[in-house]
A and B are shown apart, each in its own frame.
Chain A
Amino acid sequence: MKLGVIAIQGDVSEHVDALEKALKQRGEKCEVVTIKHRGIVPECDALVLPGGESTTLGKLLIREGIADEIKDMNAAGKPIMGTCAGLILLATAGDEQVAKTHQHLLGLMDTRVNRNAFGRQRDSFEYELELPFLETPYNAVFIRAPGIVEAGEDVKVLAEIDDMIVAAEQGNVLAMAFHPELTEDLRVHQYFLDKLF
């Protein structure tokens, strides 16, 4: 088994740490690899798209030839999780902010996203979020966070703040507008790993 974390830019090591701790917690042996270039995604059984700057990540995923590999992985039904910038990249459509930068989207989740739904950095926040798969709230960290403004029928909404969807899943694909990798609470990563084991 091999778990991949896209490592072009962003908080990659935090995801690697969280995944390794989560795997240890469940007693699973599984290699976690970081991916900067093409050729590695096809070897992976599950994939994480980390937080970072979606504009930058989108451009480099194309330049490095990784984007198509991720689409193939999705077609094969393997688990994929995107957090923050990852949620944007997973979407099928974006707002005018997304369009303005010729943002490349992977289109793995039938969603329309708003790039900075909650404003600039001064508006970033922590919030005790209720998630249907958890018994107690999760301290969710939102940093210049995006939101899902529209979701197709096949998308299961997991959490909303006001009218903005901040957590959703569609089959094998899981998207969070916040950063589960920034806290010590591994429950979101465990929920993702449940799709694999």
Chain B
Amino acid sequence: MELEKLRHGTELIKRGFAKMQKGGVIMDVVNPEQAKIAEEAGAVAVMALQAVPADIRKEGGVARMADPKIISEIIESVTIPVMGKARIGHFVEAEILEALGVDMVDESEVLTPADHKYHIDKTEFTVPFVCGARNLGEALRRINEGAAMIRTKGEAGTGDVSEAVKHMKQIMGEVRALKGKSREELIAVAREIEAPIELVLETAEMQRIPVVNFAAGGVATPADAALMMRMGADGVFVGSGIFKSENPEKMAKAIVEAVNNYDNPQVLAEVSKGIGAGMKGISVDSIPEGDILQTRGW
């Protein structure tokens, strides 16, 4: 094989990786034991973390990239892809994650931002990125920076799905509103939402954002996961919802089955039976403004 003829890290490969995750559940894990439970339940990937968002929220202080030792141990323990979180704008943390062999980097608002002005230039990396968004403008700005996958921000670590619902409806609604608009109207929209014109035109034409779009931030039960799929999510991230529940094995398996059967209430009823209590959680309304994570990034 002529090695120089292999092309690595192209946009097709990065976006292609995200497409392989469609219809799947990506689970937060903090050690190899949890990673194996997730894999056994049928997760399509795991997010390797030092602490799940609910604990990050509780502990306070500055939240950073996980200890590389934990990430390496998780990579060794499973065959499915492993993702890792870097702070917004912290391109060195992202480089470290890439060097560890992480399959996708989440430039995440769950960690304390390292740069209050710029996100990471994701086009510089071989490994693909996923980024959070609350609306179409934010999603398209991240895609323009090289994100290969978008997820709703929701409000991580709460177990309250309402913000993920809000963000998914917002993005879907803005995409629908582009339909039937003339080129000059679309250019005006691009200016208004501070997104690149080409990406707005592409979104209007495709009637979806140009990369895979997952739901995240507060998904805690099989019904929550199915709700997000019904709204048009391509798949679901579950953070604290699994390993903060009473029976993680059962919850993980039930959420995977709920995503595969999201449009069948009969099956959803079956898979939701006897799986133990979901994470206790905290309602978004009761969180002081300074502790809200979704407003990080822009």
> Which of B7, B40, B81, B261 interacts with A126 by CB under 8 Å?
B7
A41 contacts partner chain B, Cβ-Cβ < 8 Å: no
A15 to B5, CA, bound (A): 26
* Structural contact, B101 and A120, CB atoms closer than 8 A: yes
Instruction: Identify which of A53, A97, A124, A161 contacts B21 (C-beta below 8 A).
Output: A53
* A26 at the B interface (CB under 8 A): no
Q: How far is the CA of A37 from the CA of B16 in the complex (A)?
A: 25
Task: Say whether B12 contacts A182, CB under 8 Å.
Answer: yes
Let me know if A123 is at the binding interface, CB within 8 A.
yes
**Would you give the shortest CB distance from A39 to chain B, in whole angstroms?**
13
A122 to B23, Cβ gap below 8 A? no
Instruction: Report yes or no: A124 in contact with B44, Cβ–Cβ below 8 A.
Output: no
Rounded to whole Å, the gap between the CB of B264 and the closest CB of chain A is 8
Known: A56-B42, A124-B8, A144-B103. A97 touches B20 (CB 8 A): no
- Residues of A contacting B80 with CB < 8 Å? 53, 55-56
When the two chains form the complex, which single residue of A7, A63, A124 contacts B13, counting CB atoms closer than 8 Å? Answer: A124
- Docked CA distance A162–B3 (Å): 10
CB of B79 closer than 8 Å to a CB of A: yes
**What distance in Å separates the Cβ of B25 from its nearest Cβ neighbour in chain A?**
9
| A13-24 interface code vs B (CB 8 A; 1 in, 0 out) | 110000000000
Interface string of A95-131 (1 = CB under 8 A from B): 0011011000000000000011000111111111000
| A36 in contact with B260 given A56-B80, A122-B101, A125-B7 (CB within 8 Å) | yes
Taking the complex as formed, is A8 at the interface, i.e. its CB lies under 8 A from any CB of chain B? yes
Number of interface residues of B (CB under 8 A): 38
Q: Is B1 an interface residue (CB 8 A)?
A: yes
Residues of A contacting B17 with CB < 8 Å? 121, 124, 143-144
Residues on A with C-beta less than 8 A from B5 are: 127-128
Could you tell me if A126 and B6 are in contact, using CB atoms closer than 8 angstroms? Answer: yes
The answer to whether B23 touches A55 (Cβ under 8 A) is no
B32-47 interface code vs A (CB 8 A; 1 in, 0 out): 0000000110111100
In the complex, the answer to whether B12 meets A183 with C-beta atoms within 8 Å is yes
- Asked whether B161 is an interface residue with its Cβ less than 8 Å from the other chain, the reply is no
User: Nearest Cβ in chain B — how far from A45, in angstroms?
Assistant: 24
Q: How far is the CB of B21 from chain A (nearest CB, A)?
A: 7
Enumerate chain B interface residues (CB-CB to A < 8 A): 1, 5-10, 12-13, 16-17, 19-24, 39-40, 42-45, 78-81, 98, 101, 103-104, 126-128, 256-257, 260-261
Q: Sort A-B residue pairs by CB-CB distance and give the 10 closest, nearest first.
A: A121-B103, A9-B23, A125-B6, A11-B19, A126-B7, A53-B44, A59-B42, A56-B42, A124-B13, A122-B126
| Contacts A101-B39, A122-B8, A127-B6 known; 20 new A-B pairs at CB < 8 A | A9-B260, A10-B20, A12-B23, A36-B260, A52-B20, A52-B22, A53-B45, A55-B79, A56-B42, A56-B80, A60-B42, A60-B256, A98-B79, A120-B103, A122-B127, A125-B7, A143-B13, A143-B16, A144-B81, A144-B103
